[in-house]
Structure 1
Amino acid sequence: MSKRPNKLAFLTQVAPSGYVPGLGRGASGFTTRSDIGPAREGPSAEVIAEAQARRGEEVEVDPEQFQDPDNETGLFAGMAYDDADEEADRIYEAVDAKMDERRKARREAREAEILATTRAERPKIQAQFADLKRGLSAVSDAEWENLPEVGNLTGKRRKLNPREGRAYVVPDSVVLGDRSKAGYENALDPMQQATGGFETPANAGGMVDIVGISQARDKVLSLKLDQASRSSVSNGTSTSIDPKGYLTSLDSVVHKTDAEIGDIKQARALLDSLVKNNRKHAPGWIAAACVEEHAGRMVAARKLIRQGCEECPKSEDVWLEAARLHNTEDAKVILANAVQHLDQSVKIWLAAAELEGDPKAKRKVLRTAVEHIPKSVRLWKEVVNMENSPEEARIILARAVEVIPQSVELWLALARLETPEKAQKVLNSARKAIPTSHEIWIAAARLMEQEAARPEKDEAARQKDYKTVDNIIASSVSNLRRNHVLLTRDQWMKEAEQCERDGSPRTCEAIIKATISMEIEEEDRYDVWKADAESALARNQVGTARAILAYALKVFPDRRALWREAADLEKEHGTRQALEELLSQAVQHCPQAETLWLMLAKEKWMGGDVPGARVVLHQAFDANLESEQIWLAAVKLEVENNELQAAKEILNRATSVAGTERIWMKAAVFERQQGNLEAALDTVNTALAKYPKFAKFYMIKGQILQSQKDIPAARATYATGVKECPKDVRLWILSSRLEEADDKRIMARALLNKARLANPNNDLLWAESVHLEERAGQPNQAKSNLARALQECPTSGLLWSMAVMAEPRPSRRNKSMDALRKLGDDPLILCTIARMFWSERSIEKARSWFARAAKADRDIGDIWAWWLKFELEHGTQEHQQQVIDQCVAAEPRHGTVWPSIAKDVANARKTTRDILFLVAKQLH
């Protein structure tokens, strides 16, 4: 039988190293002195003091080492305190106070700085609301009363007021029971019958009708008030009060705040001191009266101003202020007294005249004033203005210029009232009296211009008078210089513009002729005169600009830019006859200027003078044998007038004489328009042999072949074209469209990709790629291409326009704002925004944005077409005609849809108006 193991044998075994009993049950181990042995003592206090002495350090003394453990006040607390100790303490306290006084200023400054810093970082609540508390002084009583009651904003449940208690619904039984409390019994109970119906102490328990007594009292009071009102009216002692307007009149009452009252009192005290110390100071009396007027004390104000008149009788301001503060009748008396002291004051006489309501009385006062002050121009002008008869006014002015011969205004007024013959004599007398006045010379020139414009004069006499106008202005410049009056060139220019505004263009021109060359170096004349003309035209001074250009053309007759600027001015502001005369002079002085010849021929043609236009072009041929523009203009003239054979002959001669690319292109287009496709192909082939790098020849040939259904030949033509002219974007687009028409969209996409490699950052190619995917029914791919296009061409108005319209309607506005910020006033973006407003039915906004887009670029035909389409749907006949007229005047040539419609063979003979309607019809 085996021996059983002893389960408690571990108690006699040695514990392993690091064993802690009960550690698994959460007990913690600890270490005692017996585990680690005795500790080593540190250095003693003597050893530490000796080491400090060797290092030269001071031995720190414990302040409590001499402290008596039984007495907290020290070891010497039990000693006697005699006079010497008291004197010593007093001396030490005096020394401490002196030291503290010396450091007080710095300590207070440091504490104030610390306090200010603390208050700045953490201000008190009363400091935060100090300005608002000061503003409470201006709050009126009515505003205090209108302040709402403070409610419970804590969101907690309010405690009930024990005085108020809770409110409960009163049952009907209580209401019925209390209903009789407000009434009274007509029948007497037995006790009341015994006492005669009166309440006695014996029956003091009867019912008394308190409500009835109150109503009776109010009734009696109302009757007494009505009786008093009627009696006061009958006695004439009542005031007239408008019940409806009473409250309204209360609004006009000015209520002074405490601050204003304080300011008035302070101002009153200061001004009272001022007028007492210096009683002859007129502004002080006026200010004191104004203060009282502001305070609403009109009686005091009038009293003060009367004292001011007595103390300062020679001050016209005091008298005028007194007249202002009084009513009309009193003001007349005051001004009559003022005239006795200041009979030479023009202001007082004019104020007295203004007080008169009767014109006769006013005229009398003014004439009396003129007698006292005959040298006042203002009084004479007032007297003349009061006269209704021109004859009386003329007599008065004649007397006025005798009294005041140095007044230019009076002389000119007299000349305007006289007949032309007498006016000339008056102006001559004025020139002698005032030789330094340029206004009189200008008035004389204007008078002569008026005489020249009389209808009974013939052309010779009129030209003679105009020459006299020039002589008068020229004489004025020399005479004024002789009298040391030197007006600057800018001053003369302003006078010329004023004459134009007053309806005297010939005088304006005379001033320009006489003074335009002043103060200018000879080499700077051309630039300065051109700038003067542009600035005058910018100020809408057309006559001044015309005069400047006319004089400049006499000095520089060979400058084409001047002739062109003058022609543009006449085209916009003048007549066709004047423009033709100007252009006829221009081509004589500048025969090599092709633009001037073409402008003259066009004006002749537009005026209905077709033979005259042919003559002009014939003369232009003689002066410019190889001019491409003149040849093409001659062809266009003959085509528009149905002279097709003549146009063909001119083209044949042009191809042999000039033979430029455009002439050959025009010859091919002419044959194509006439339906001679084979002749057009022959012409194009001949032209390609001479000019293989001209892209439009490939376009014309490809389009002709495509119209003949010869797709392979057209494809080969476009392939040759893009090889010879890889930078021409239109060739790539036509080639892609050919493949798309042949149902080869993959080839069309490939051609556009290749075109973008040859012409990077081109928005037309990207737009064509987007349209290709849209026509193919791939909106997602079109959107992807548009996003890539905007990344490559971020400043393209065409692509941004497409992006805006591709957005859903709610997000278009944000997209358009992004486009505006990116591109500014791009015409295509402006047109797109107009279309967006159109879709939102904002008619006026859309119209204004269309006008803004058309103004930004008048050469884009699509904008005009969109605008016309909008007006056809929402506008009136007047709006539509306005758009048509502006488009015809602009003659647009570019756009996305416009060129394809305008250059279509079927639309060759159509006008700009017809093309506009066709493009508007095709837009969607």
Structure 2
Amino acid sequence: MSANKPNKLAFLSMPAPASYVAGLGRGASGFTTRSDIGPAREGPSAEVIAEAQEKRGEEVEVDPEQFQDPDNEYGLFAGTTYEQDDEEADKIYDSVDEAMDSRRRARREAQEQAELVKHRAERPKIQQQFADLKRGLSAVTDEEWENIPEVGNLTRKKRRREERTYVVPDSVLVGDRGKNEYENSLDDRQQQNGGFETPADSGTLTNFVEIGQARDKILSLKLDQISGTATSGTSTSVDPKGYLTSLDSVIIKSDAEIGDIKRARMLFDSLVKSNPKHAPGWIAAACLEEHAGRMVAARKIIKAGCEQCQKSEDIWLEAARLHNNDDAKVILANAVQHVGQSVKIWLAAADLEHDAKSKKPLEHIPNSVRLWKETVNLESSATDARIILARAVEVIPLSVELWLALARLETPDRAKAVLNKARKAIPTSHEIWIAAGRLLEQEASSHPEKTPEQVAKELEMVDKTIEAGVRELRRHQVLLTREQWLKEAERCEEEGSPRTCEAIVKATVAMELEEEDRLDTWVGDADAAEAKGRVGTARAVLAYALKVYPDRRSLWMRAAELEKSHGTRESFDAILQRAVHHCPQAEVLWLMAAKEKWLAGDVPASRRVLEEAFVANPESEKIWLAAVKLEAENGELMVARELLIRARTVADTERIWMKSAVFERQQGQVDTALETLATALKKFPKFAKLYMIQGQIYQSLNNIPAARAAFAAGLKACPKEIILWILASRLEEADGRSIKARALLEKARLVNPANETLWAEAVSVEERAGGAPQAKAMLSRGLQECPTSGLLWSMAIWAEPRPMRKARSVDALKKSADNPVIICTVARLFWAERKIEKARQWFGRAVATDQDLGDSWGWWLKFERQHGTEEHGEEVRKACIAAEPYHSPRWQSIAKYLKNTGKSTRETLEMVANALQ
């Protein structure tokens, strides 16, 4: 290297600048290594690091403690005393902050929800983006699926060759067939032609019969070789006939299972050696050997366990189980010498005996209730059992079970004496008092020759007995809760003692209750008992509540509903008679009583009930209209008209005027009906149904301008009435003015936003006009404004092609799972797919969700007509009659049709089922 050439590595020996810190530009700091221990060099100071960072343009970190008060280590005010007024001030500030936060919380949460919805709309999930495409895959045909190209392996890795398998050629089978055969004659064709010739049946022609025979021959040869019947002379011990049968009895264990058994055997062996007095270890070890199929080893282990654990009854019982009957007797005989007071040992020994006299070990354990019960069960005659029980209660006087069993076997008179003795022996048992009440009830109802007065007097003794029992138990500090007593009452009802159940309820239902909580608690108890099917308990609770609150209308209504659902017609009528006597101002109770008489066919009695109702409620609109309906349904039209005239004078309500117009219209008196409507509209200009009836009458008379004027006046007076808008739109549509109909519905939606009925009518207008795309667009707009509408979702489901309806129904159920219209639509989809049971279940869910929708009942009956039996259809009819539906579009249109006036619910249901398509 020349002397003039500069050295490029000379800078390594130069000293570092004063402000240089190694690695500082990369965020490093000074550190100390093992080699630096000793005279370790200190790192750069804080001033040097700050200066270097400032030169590089980096932001200098500020020490938060540089402004700390030097005289105060923790804070400026840390030296002051935190007094009570400071704590109170902090609490006031916290409460103010909390109040301000609560005021802003609703607005803040609403804003956050809106931002979340906006974010999800702008950036939806991948699953939402491809939901329509995934649903569209269901419409892909099989041909399109097959035309999708396969994705090849684009990697350059060597593929592993698959091993090829070949079918055995038929020639091999034919050759094996003739392997041991010898042909001693020449072919006829060879003899004739003087030479060899290829057979005609060889070559390309295959003889499948010979191939089958060849397979059979080979299989028989192999079986003969195994069984020792082959010509080779070899013999074996295999039985070919029982070979496959014996294979079924062989338990084949896998290697893993055998390994588990070995490990468990070592574990149990260690357990019994380390703790030989632990009986469960011996039992587990014996069970393991039993599972492994080594019964001799299992019995040997359990025998050793019995020697080590002679006081354990479980190990003796396990030893008896592992041996046969005779050996088990010897084992249990040895067991009773060591565990003589074990009831289980004696019962197991008794089960092994065949002689009944040998099955009575009571002399060894006389204080065992279970042994006494087993001994009684062995007796064939009631007399012997009674004698044994009499002895049992002497030996064990504190057993309630034995006293009750003895009382059940005695005559009524002697049973009373037995229960009295039991009550004295066990004064804290409520079961004995309940048994005494049940005995009195049984004695009162077992003699048919007794008069009703005698029966009633004896049944009163049941109430007195239960009341005395509750007092005595309370005196002996036995305090059962209300819930426990109600459970006892339900048990008595279940076992066939309704009077004892009622007595228990009377004596205990008011316990532990505050006066202001009694009514709600009793109604809740009745509802809970009814839900369990304990109608007698619910009836008793309501009867007691009605005695305490005889003037509560809601309580009488609840009792009447209970009797209507579970009682007889006589009990229902009786409860209604009592109800109207205590609550004469309750119109609904009078109407229920009159309707019950009418349904029973007693029209004069129904009239008498309504007359009494008129006296108690002279200005009641409902009672007047009920009387009119009763007379009109029974053909007394003049009486009905007179009642309406009187009602307009006395009650003078808008509904009475409307019913008067409807009555005249039904009788064909159109002019009278219009006059009545004109008078009514002057009195009640805001009642929309008057305009509806007026417009419909004019429309039936083909007076379109007058009908249009009537509807227009109604819309001006009642713009919030949805049905009035729909009737006006349908009038224009019937007159051929679809554009005007659409305009009316558009205006109606502006006045009544987010109304599903108006949107559904708009969609129907487009469908009737023949514009399917316009109808679908209208339906989409309606679902955007009413996302939970069952009516619109139902229309959307049926608007889809058949393959897409199921996916659409899933979307509908997600939006509104409990909507009865959607549930009914899903049932109809199952119906279309011939899933009969599922469709029946979903129809049941639809009517259970809302029993007032008549169209759901109609669809169900139509379904049962096609796929169900007559019994199924009759069940639907009866349930519909009990529910008395009133709403739904098709149901109302048929029920309010003039020609269907007076039709029953059953007849209306049949017509609705016929009309639905």
Q: TM-score range by the shorter chain?
A: 0.7 to 0.9
What percentage of residue pairs aligned between the two structures are identical? Answer: 59
Of 477, 494, 501, 2:494 maps to 501
How many Å apart are 1:281 and its aligned residue?
5.3
Partner of 1:262: 263
Of 384, 389, 393, 1:397 maps to 389
Write the distance in 1 (CA, Å) between the matches of 2:768 and 2:608. Answer: 52
How many Å apart are 1:483 and its aligned residue?
1.8
- Determine whether 1:646 maps to 2:639: yes
Of 711, 726, 731, 1:733 maps to 726
Partner of 1:249: 249
How many Å apart are 1:221 and its aligned residue?
6.3
- Determine whether 1:565 maps to 2:558: yes
Q: Kindly tell me: are residues 808 and 222 of structure 1, through their superposed partners in 2, closer, same or farther at Cα, counting changes over 3 Å?
A: closer
Partner of 2:607: 614
Partner of 2:747: 754
**Structure 1: segments with no counterpart, 5+ residues:** 1-39, 59-94, 100-152, 187-213, 233-237
- The answer to whether the 8 A contact 1:352-1:365 is kept is no
The structure with higher relative contact order (CA 8 Å, sep 6+) is 2
Partner of 2:41: none
Of 539, 553, 557, 2:532 maps to 539
Write the distance in 2 (CA, Å) between the matches of 1:754 and 1:220. Answer: 98
Write the distance in 2 (CA, Å) between the matches of 1:901 and 1:223. Answer: 90
Write the distance in 1 (CA, Å) between the matches of 2:286 and 2:814. Answer: 61
Q: Kindly tell me: are residues 558 and 239 of structure 1, through their superposed partners in 2, closer, same or farther at Cα, counting changes over 3 Å?
A: same
Of 569, 577, 594, 1:576 maps to 569
Of 537, 542, 548, 2:541 maps to 548
Relative to the length of structure 1, the TM-score reads 0.75
Partner of 1:451: 443
Of 813, 826, 830, 1:820 maps to 813
How many Å apart are 1:365 and its aligned residue?
2.9
Partner of 2:374: 382
Q: Kindly tell me: are residues 287 and 901 of structure 1, through their superposed partners in 2, closer, same or farther at Cα, counting changes over 3 Å?
A: closer
Q: Kindly tell me: are residues 712 and 250 of structure 1, through their superposed partners in 2, closer, same or farther at Cα, counting changes over 3 Å?
A: same
Equivalences for residues 141-540 of structure 1 within 5 A: 155=159, 222=229, 242-251=242-251, 257-275=258-276, 282-283=279-280, 285-290=282-287, 292-294=289-291, 296-356=293-353, 358=354, 361=355, 363-367=356-360, 369-454=361-446, 455-540=448-533
How many Å apart are 1:575 and its aligned residue?
1.0
Write the distance in 1 (CA, Å) between the matches of 2:169 and 2:726. Answer: 89
Amino acid of the structure 2 residue aligned with 1:472: T
Q: Deviations over 1:256-289 (max 9, x none)?
A: 52343133124313423433xxxx5555554554
Q: Deviations over 1:691-717 (max 9, x none)?
A: 011111111111111222222111111
Instruction: Give the secondary structure class of the aligned counterpart of 2:619.
Output: coil
Relative to the length of structure 2, the TM-score reads 0.75
Instruction: Give the secondary structure class of the aligned counterpart of 1:520.
Output: coil
Out of 886-895 and 300-309, give the one that drifted further: 300-309
Write the distance in 1 (CA, Å) between the matches of 2:607 and 2:492. Answer: 41
- Determine whether 1:715 maps to 2:708: yes
Write the distance in 2 (CA, Å) between the matches of 1:403 and 1:560. Answer: 57
Amino acid of the structure 2 residue aligned with 1:431: R
Q: Kindly tell me: are residues 284 and 261 of structure 1, through their superposed partners in 2, closer, same or farther at Cα, counting changes over 3 Å?
A: closer
Amino acid of the structure 2 residue aligned with 1:381: K
Partner of 1:69: none
Partner of 2:152: none
Amino acid of the structure 2 residue aligned with 1:257: I
Q: Kindly tell me: are residues 484 and 241 of structure 1, through their superposed partners in 2, closer, same or farther at Cα, counting changes over 3 Å?
A: farther
**Structure 2: segments with no counterpart, 5+ residues:** 22-33, 39-156, 186-220
Partner of 1:767: 760
Larger Rg belongs to: 1
Equivalences for residues 841-860 of structure 1 within 5 A: 841-860=834-853
- The answer to whether the 8 A contact 2:680-2:690 is kept is yes
Q: Deviations over 1:597-648 (max 9, x none)?
A: 1111111111122111111111111111211111111111111111111111
Partner of 2:64: none
- The answer to whether the 8 A contact 1:694-1:725 is kept is yes
Instruction: Give the secondary structure class of the aligned counterpart of 1:761.
Output: coil
Of 670, 691, 694, 2:687 maps to 694
Write the distance in 2 (CA, Å) between the matches of 1:731 and 1:599. Answer: 32
Q: Kindly tell me: are residues 914 and 182 of structure 1, through their superposed partners in 2, closer, same or farther at Cα, counting changes over 3 Å?
A: closer
How many Å apart are 1:341 and its aligned residue?
3.3
How many Å apart are 1:325 and its aligned residue?
2.4
Q: Deviations over 1:794-813 (max 9, x none)?
A: 22111111111111111111
How many Å apart are 1:181 and its aligned residue?
12
Amino acid of the structure 1 residue aligned with 2:618: L
- The answer to whether the 8 A contact 2:756-2:789 is kept is yes
Write the distance in 2 (CA, Å) between the matches of 1:335 and 1:409. Answer: 29
Amino acid of the structure 2 residue aligned with 1:897: R
Partner of 2:25: none
- The answer to whether the 8 A contact 1:416-1:423 is kept is yes
Instruction: Give the secondary structure class of the aligned counterpart of 1:897.
Output: helix
How many Å apart are 1:317 and its aligned residue?
3.1
- The answer to whether the 8 A contact 2:726-2:761 is kept is yes
How many Å apart are 1:412 and its aligned residue?
0.7
- The answer to whether the 8 A contact 1:500-1:544 is kept is yes
How many Å apart are 1:451 and its aligned residue?
1.2
Q: Kindly tell me: are residues 240 and 315 of structure 1, through their superposed partners in 2, closer, same or farther at Cα, counting changes over 3 Å?
A: farther
Q: Deviations over 1:840-869 (max 9, x none)?
A: 333333222222211111111111112222
- The answer to whether the 8 A contact 2:229-2:235 is kept is no
- Determine whether 1:655 maps to 2:656: no
Partner of 2:855: 862
Q: Kindly tell me: are residues 225 and 294 of structure 1, through their superposed partners in 2, closer, same or farther at Cα, counting changes over 3 Å?
A: farther
Write the distance in 1 (CA, Å) between the matches of 2:694 and 2:887. Answer: 22
Q: Kindly tell me: are residues 424 and 46 of structure 1, through their superposed partners in 2, closer, same or farther at Cα, counting changes over 3 Å?
A: closer
Instruction: Give the secondary structure class of the aligned counterpart of 1:372.
Output: coil
Write the distance in 2 (CA, Å) between the matches of 1:502 and 1:874. Answer: 40
How many Å apart are 1:342 and its aligned residue?
3.2
How many Å apart are 1:408 and its aligned residue?
0.8
How many Å apart are 1:349 and its aligned residue?
0.9
- The answer to whether the 8 A contact 1:431-1:440 is kept is yes
- The answer to whether the 8 A contact 2:265-2:285 is kept is no
Out of 287-296 and 400-409, give the one that drifted further: 287-296
Count of aligned pairs between the two proteins: 742
Q: Kindly tell me: are residues 325 and 462 of structure 1, through their superposed partners in 2, closer, same or farther at Cα, counting changes over 3 Å?
A: same
Write the distance in 1 (CA, Å) between the matches of 2:836 and 2:9. Answer: 104
Partner of 1:35: none
- The answer to whether the 8 A contact 2:261-2:292 is kept is no
Q: Kindly tell me: are residues 261 and 506 of structure 1, through their superposed partners in 2, closer, same or farther at Cα, counting changes over 3 Å?
A: same
Partner of 2:826: 833
Q: Kindly tell me: are residues 286 and 856 of structure 1, through their superposed partners in 2, closer, same or farther at Cα, counting changes over 3 Å?
A: closer
Amino acid of the structure 1 residue aligned with 2:364: H
How many Å apart are 1:672 and its aligned residue?
0.6
How many Å apart are 1:571 and its aligned residue?
0.4
Instruction: Give the secondary structure class of the aligned counterpart of 2:362.
Output: helix
- The answer to whether the 8 A contact 1:271-1:287 is kept is no
Amino acid of the structure 2 residue aligned with 1:622: V
Amino acid of the structure 1 residue aligned with 2:326: E
- The answer to whether the 8 A contact 1:366-1:382 is kept is no
How many Å apart are 1:227 and its aligned residue?
11
Amino acid of the structure 1 residue aligned with 2:385: A
- The answer to whether the 8 A contact 1:366-1:379 is kept is no
- The answer to whether the 8 A contact 2:489-2:501 is kept is yes
